[in-house]
Chains A and B, each alone.
Chain A
Amino acid sequence: MDSAISAGTQGLLLGLSNLQLGQVALILLGSFLIYLGIKKGFEPLLLLPIGFGAILVNIPQAGLMDEGGFLRFFYEVGVLTEIFPILIFLGIGAMTDFQPLLENPKIILLGAAGQFGIFLTLLLALAVGFDKLDAVAISIIGACDGPTAIYVSSKYAPHLLGAVSVAAYSYMSLVPLIQPPIMRLLTTEREKRIVMGVEKRPVSKSTKILFPIVVTVAVSLLAPKGTPLIGMLMLGNLMRESGVVERLKHTSENEIANIVTLLLGLSIGATMEAEKFLRAETLIVLALGLVAIGLDTVMGVLFGKLMCLLTGGKINPLIGAAGISAFPMAARVAQTEGQRYNKKNYLLMHAMSANAGGQIGSIVAAAVMLSVLAGMGIV
Chain B
Amino acid sequence: MGIWSFGVTVALIGMTGTMLVLWIISLLILLLKKIFPENAGGSKPSKG
Given the known interface contacts A205-B41, A364-B18, the answer about A123 and B7 at a Cβ–Cβ threshold of 8 Å is yes
Residue from B3, B22, B33 in contact with A102 in the complex, judged by beta carbons closer than 8 Å: B33
Chain A: interface residue total (CB-CB under 8 A): 47
- Cβ A204 vs Cβ B7 within 8 A: no
Interface of chain A residues 185 through 231 with chain B (CB within 8 A): 202-207, 210-211, 214-215, 218-219, 222-223
- Does A293 belong to the interface (CB within 8 Å)? no
- Sorted from nearest, which 9 A-B pairs have the closest CB atoms? A204-B41, A206-B36, A105-B29, A202-B38, A368-B17, A119-B11, A105-B26, A112-B22, A112-B19
Residue from B7, B23, B32 in contact with A109 in the complex, judged by beta carbons closer than 8 Å: B23
Bound CA span A360–B8, Å:
24
A132 neighbours in B (Cβ, 8 Å): 3, 6
Name B residues whose Cβ lies closer than 8 Å to a Cβ of A: 1, 3-4, 6-11, 13-15, 17-30, 32-33, 36-42
Bound CA span A115–B14, Å:
10
Given the known interface contacts A207-B33, A211-B32, A365-B14, the answer about A218 and B21 at a Cβ–Cβ threshold of 8 Å is yes
A97 to chain B, nearest CB (A): 14
Bound CA span A202–B17, Å:
30
B23 neighbours in A (Cβ, 8 Å): 108-109, 112
- Cβ A204 vs Cβ B37 within 8 A: yes
From A105, A113, A202, A206, residue with most partner B Cβ within 10 Å: A105
Bound CA span A132–B29, Å:
36
Digit string of A250-272 for contact with B (CB within 8 Å is 1, else 0)?
00000000000000000000000
Chief secondary structure at chain B's binding surface: helix
Given the known interface contacts A210-B36, A214-B32, the answer about A223 and B41 at a Cβ–Cβ threshold of 8 Å is no
Given the known interface contacts A126-B7, A360-B25, the answer about A112 and B18 at a Cβ–Cβ threshold of 8 Å is yes
Bound CA span A371–B10, Å:
10
Residue of B nearest to A357 (CB): B22
A355 to chain B, nearest CB (A): 13
- Does A80 belong to the interface (CB within 8 Å)? no
A373 neighbours in B (Cβ, 8 Å): 10
A244 to chain B, nearest CB (A): 15
A376 neighbours in B (Cβ, 8 Å): 1, 6, 9-10
- A-B residue pairs in contact (CB < 8 Å), sample of 13: A105-B30, A106-B26, A108-B26, A115-B15, A122-B11, A123-B8, A204-B39, A204-B42, A207-B32, A215-B28, A222-B20, A372-B9, A372-B14
Digit string of A337-363 for contact with B (CB within 8 Å is 1, else 0)?
000000000000000000001001100
A278 neighbours in B (Cβ, 8 Å): none
B37 neighbours in A (Cβ, 8 Å): 204
- Cβ A109 vs Cβ B17 within 8 A: no
- Does A135 belong to the interface (CB within 8 Å)? yes
- Cβ B4 vs Cβ A126 within 8 A: yes
Residue from A115, A120, A205 in contact with B18 in the complex, judged by beta carbons closer than 8 Å: A115
Interface of chain A residues 102 through 135 with chain B (CB within 8 A): 102, 105-106, 108-109, 111-113, 115-116, 118-120, 122-123, 126, 132, 135
- Does A369 belong to the interface (CB within 8 Å)? yes
Bound CA span A378–B30, Å:
36
B19 neighbours in A (Cβ, 8 Å): 109, 112-113
A367 neighbours in B (Cβ, 8 Å): 21
Residue of B nearest to A375 (CB): B13
